[in-house]
Amino acid sequence: MASPAEEAAAEVDGEGGGLPPSAAAAAAAEAFQQAVLQQMRRELRQHEQAAQERLRQLDERLRALEERVGASSASGEHAQEPVAERLSKLEAAVATALHTMFPRVEALLSQLERDSVRAGRACDGEDVADPAPAPAPAPAPAPPAVAVRDPAAQLLGRQLLEAMQDRKTERVRELLDAGADPNFRRDDGWTPLMMGARYNRNQALLLLLERGADPRARDCHGNCALHLAVCEERTGETVRLLVGGGADPNCADHSGQTPLHFAARWGSAPAARALLAAGARVDAVDIHGRTPRHIAWTQEVRRLFDGEQP
């Protein structure tokens, strides 16, 4: 199978054979960036699907155990302790699986990102050497340790996460009215607000914020809801909604990257524009010394960082 660079070169050779050398080089670099980004999206999607399937399987087992715990409690049996102990072990297994899987995704993303950034900076005539590393920022607080919780609260929380993902605003309202915690945490630290931000469920997000959801909560990687919102952002509305609800536009994850870094990585000009309007810093650096401008791969986002109006 051809690499992204080879595919990009073949495409340029086939379509731009009559270009001057400098223009052909620029076109090849731009095509390379596009090919790398497509590969990055494909592989990240595969990892995400694998993670979701693993979580689905574990969630089914968790629910079965929760039902047994509830049944034992309702009937007055004394077998609740062993089941609760197994439930705790299974929840710990979920957390371990997530902590193992997501660093692999981050490593893949970082490698593909470095290749894309070098190509883009070479296209602009910049020095392709990586910038000097910056001092590591203070780590974000870790999410609370997993503990055995009330089975009914667990069930409501999981249903609330599912409703946020499935764009069921009325179902979200019903669950909140039934006592679901708007700040319920999944084993990787994700809250319903993060789930809604990831899929731009703006109406449901507004409802959660009205019910006390914390827009500054962090997951196990230090991401806040704003980091997740920019991945699929198309208009900037989700970013504006979260910032209006109290989200910090300059919150940094464990690698020092802010939501503006994520907007640059994903090539989302609407998200970048909304973050800049909210006071996001263009000179923020991650633990490798990279600003959002360093990892921006589209000309539209770069022009925003350079103070130009696209």
Q: Which residues contact 122 (CB under 8 A, 6 or more apart)?
A: 29, 128
| Burial class of residue 300 in the structure, from the number of CB atoms within 10 Å of its CB (0-12 exposed, 13-18 middle, 19+ buried) | middle
pLDDT at 44: 72
Amino acid found at 280: A
Break the chain into its structural domains and give their ranges. 1-126
Conformational region of residue 222, where left means phi above 0, alpha means psi within -120 to 50, and beta covers everything else: left
100-157 pLDDT per residue, tens: 555 555 555 566 556 555 555 555 555 545 555 555 555 555 544 444 457 888 899 9
The DSSP string of 83-110 is HHHHHHHHHHHHHHHHHHHHHHHHHHHH
Kindly tell me if the per-residue pLDDT of 257 is higher than 90: yes
Token pair, residue 25, equals 């080089």
Cα distances from 191 to residues 35, 101, 127, 131, in angstroms, run 33, 19, 41, 35
Q: Indicate the pTM of the whole model.
A: 0.57
CB 252 within 8 A of CB 176: no
